[in-house]
Each structure stands twice: as C-alpha cells, then as structure tokens.
Amino acid sequence: MNEPLRGLEIAPPEERAVLLGKEAYISESYAREEGAKLWSKVWQVACRAEEVPNVGDYVTYDILDESIIVVRNAPDRIEAFHNVCQHRARRLTTGCGHARQFVCPFHGWRWNLQGRNTFVLCREDYGDTLKDEDIALPPVRCEQWGGWVWINLDPDCVPLREYLWPAAPMLDSFDLDRMRYRWRQWLIFPCNWKVALEAFNESFHARISHPGLSEFGSVADYWCRGQGLHCWHGPEQSIGAGTMSKSDKPAPIMPGSHIEPRKRLGLTMRRFMDEVNALTTQTIVDAAQRLVDELPEGTPAGEVGAHLMQRAREDDEARGVHWADVPPEVMLNAGHDWHLFPNTIFLQTRTHALCYRARPNGWNPDSCIFEAYVIELFPEGEAPETEWQFVPDWTDERWPKVLREDFQNMPEVQRGLKSSGFSVARPNPRQEATVSHFHQVLADYMGRDAPVPITP
Ligand code: FES
Ligand SMILES: [Fe+2]
C-alpha cells in the first residue's frame, strides 16, 4: 500500500443479504425519533465554503426545528450559531446574505459576527440580571472538509475528520475543496429523505432506469464497500474514461457495446453532458470528439480511455485548470460514488463531482428537501456565478433528463412502501450493499435492531 493509504485497512467489498423493514421510511414516530437520535448527533453539510467568501457572509441551514447561522467572521474562520434571539426566541434571519451584525427584527437586540450580544433595548431595566455570557448566541460545532462547511448540533461530538473516517483520508487527494459550483438546484420531493438518497447511493439501477446512459455499452457490475459510518461503490469493469477497475471481468453485453471504443467514448461523454449535465466536463467532451482523429481504429477501450484522460488533462492544464493528483492506489479503491452518513452523496472525479443532499422537510416522513449540484475545477477567478435554483416541478426540463428518470422512481417507491402487499425490501447482496450498510448504521443511531440477515 502506498503513502496516501498507509495505515488504512480498506474493507473488502461487502456481500450480505438482509431484509429491510419499512418503518424507517414511512413511520411518523420514527421521523420524530430521527430528530432526537440522528439529526441532533451527526455531522451534516451546511453549505460550501464558497457560499460565504467574505467576512460577514452568512448562510442559514435549517434541519427540522433547528435553524443555524453559518457565518464567516474572519478571513480564515467560519463559525456557526443557533439562529434564535435570546430575548424572546424570534428567528433572527433567513436564507443567506451579508451582515455586519445580526439584529432581531422584534425588539432590536443585536449580536456581532462572533455571536456576542452588542445591544439590548432598555438594558438598564434589567439591572444587574443580564449577563453577557447568558445572552450570547449559542454556538454550534462547525468544521470544514472537502470545501464543505459541516455543522453538528451535539457539542460533545467527535471531530469532523474522525467522523468522516475513512472517507476523508481516502478522498483528500481529490481536492474537492478546490472545486466550485457549476450548477445547483433543489426541490421539495414527495418521498422520505432516505428514499431520495437511496436512488443515488447505488448504480445498480442505471442499466434499467437510465437506458440512455447504457446505450453505448457503458455499463458495469458494481462492488460496494462500507466502513465506519460511510459506504461507497465503484464499477467492477473499466467503463472507459479512465475509470480504474477492480477486476478484469468482462462488462455485461449491452446494446451499443459493438460500437468501436473511440466512437463509443465520444458518444458517451456527449450523452453524459446532454442528459446528466454532470459526470463529465466540456473539456472532456471536446477531447472525446477528437479520439477518432488521434487514435487508430481498433485501439482497445482501456487505451482509448487513458488517452482521453491524458489529453483532457493537458487541455485543462493549458487553460489553468490543474487536475487533482490522485494516486493510482486511491483511484483503484475510491470507486465513483460515496455516501457520507447520513445524507451526503457525491460522485467524485479528478476535475468535478456530482453531489446530492436530502433531508426531512419538517416532521412528515413523506416529504424531503432534495438538492443536486455539480462542483468543478475552474481557472482561478473564472468560476461561474451561481445561486440555488428552486425548480419545484420534477418533470421540468431544467432538471437533467437522467435525474428526471431517477425522480420517477422516488414517489413510486414511497407509495409502494405503504402498500399492504409489501413487507420488506431485499437489496441486492452485492451491488446494493451500500443501501444495507446505510441501514445498519442508521439502526445503530436509532437504537433499533440491525437489518435482518436472510438465511437460506
Ligand atoms: S425577540 Fe428578539 S429582540 Fe425581542
Ligand atoms: Fe440514477
């Protein structure tokens, strides 16, 4: 094992057959319990650091009954506070913005960016009874990794990096912190937050739900790993574009597999851009169209993929985009899709990542807030200006076609979970072991029995 993974024993691919009950997805009391046992204990992504670039920039992050202000209060420091007035509980602010201080709109109490109270209306009326330390904004644990700002409502929680093990050491070299938003959209979705996430923490569905992606033969079987709280998966076969594979097992035969590799990769990259608006970049799409000119007919798929990545990397280098240097050992083991417990998923590469976050929308187990976004490396100072776009209708064509295909499944799963004709889910023991691992960890937090193994 080489340097970056020294001391990190990576778990072998998981194989386990379990049954998953439905309570976690549809029970109102379970959703309530999640507030106390899960959301108040876990590290969760509040925003990207790029959303608060200047001192005074802030974002509010809401989870169930809690609202948290994440604010940059020094050039090199981001802190978080409960977003609630210490006078009579009015929420101080909403959304995001820039502030020199936080002023309560009710009776005008004020706090500086460090959370210290600076003004109480008619303070003299309180005599000596009002102590500064009692009326400071209560702090919330806040740390950064991967360009994200994370918060944890539990003051006694473990440090973020410890919580993120083994994801942080395995993924540090992907330089996710250098990436900036390319696009970001959100909506309220009529399904449980876990149903939404589980549409994205396995790739097993892709060959059926996303026929357009597999049309050119870019389909694989997948291995899944779970370690610590988190899980990840990757293709067993190289699917082109330089993806490293864990085995030489031949890929399943799909329509389009007969197309010769140079053309196939060109078509695949263009399809990714057109139908996902992710999983590739314009640099890679453009370089992929040149493969037929740059390589002789019959070049094996692996060589075509390596050539494409080499050329795209050179093209990006020339415009000032420096790809992450990911050691081959990491590339081999990091797969392509991570689920950081409980509610962050991303598909990472050396130049970009497609990311998702899902969280409950209040206490209703049938509703969630779902966000999808792409981050990418841009030349210094050239990242596009983006904002969160609320696109409420999931059939709206502003949602990429492939996401709309995923969205079709989500409310139908939520309905099906309530059917008297459905009692337990049976995730594929190998290719959906990420789903099982997630429920194992969730059960631990929730004080429930682990998922039931299926015995022959
Ligand atoms: S509730 Fe905020 S100043 Fe009164
Ligand atoms: Fe999908």
| pLDDT score of 456 | 78
98: which residues sit within 8 A by CB, 6+ positions away? 54, 56, 57, 58
Ligand 1 atom with the shortest distance to the CA of 104: 2
| pLDDT score of 302 | 87
State which CATH number among 3.60.15.10, 3.40.50.150, 3.90.380.10, 1.10.510.10 fits the domain covering 11-42+174-250+323-456.
3.90.380.10
CA of 54 to the centre of ligand 1 (A): 27
Characterize the bridge pairing of strands 117-119 and 96-98: unpaired
Indicate left, alpha or beta for 363 from its phi (over 0: left) and psi (-120 to 50: alpha).
alpha
| pLDDT score of 220 | 77
CA of 363 to the centre of ligand 2 (A): 26
| Separation CA 297–CA 14 (nearest Å) | 39
| Separation CA 115–CA 454 (nearest Å) | 52
pLDDT digits over 312-354, tens only? 999 999 999 999 999 998 998 999 999 999 999 999 999 999 9
| pLDDT score of 455 | 82
| Separation CA 174–CA 85 (nearest Å) | 40
pTM for the model: 0.94
44-163 homologous superfamily: Rieske [2Fe-2S] iron-sulphur domain (2.102.10.10)
| pLDDT score of 218 | 56
The protein residue whose alpha carbon is closest to atom 4 in ligand 1 is 107
CA of 203 to the centre of ligand 2 (A): 7
Nearest Cα residue to 155 out of 227, 80, 54, 48: 80
Which ligand has its closest atom nearest to the C-alpha of 198?
2
pLDDT < 70 positions in the chain = 1-4, 217-219, 237-257
Ligand 1 atom with the shortest distance to the CA of 86: 2
| pLDDT score of 257 | 67
Is the alpha carbon torsion for 256, 260, 265, 267 positive or negative?
negative
CA of 125 to the centre of ligand 1 (A): 15
Report cis status (omega within 30 of 0) of the bond before 392: no
Cβ(85) to ligand 1 under 6 A?
A: yes
Nearest Cα residue to 121 out of 94, 88, 152, 97: 88
User: Would you kindly state where each structural domain of the chain is located, as residue ranges?
Assistant: 11-42+174-250+323-456, 44-163
What order of strands is seen across the sheet that includes strand 337-340? 222-227, 230-235, 337-340, 344-348, 352-360, 368-376, 180-189, 389-390
Ligand 1 atom with the shortest distance to the CA of 92: 2
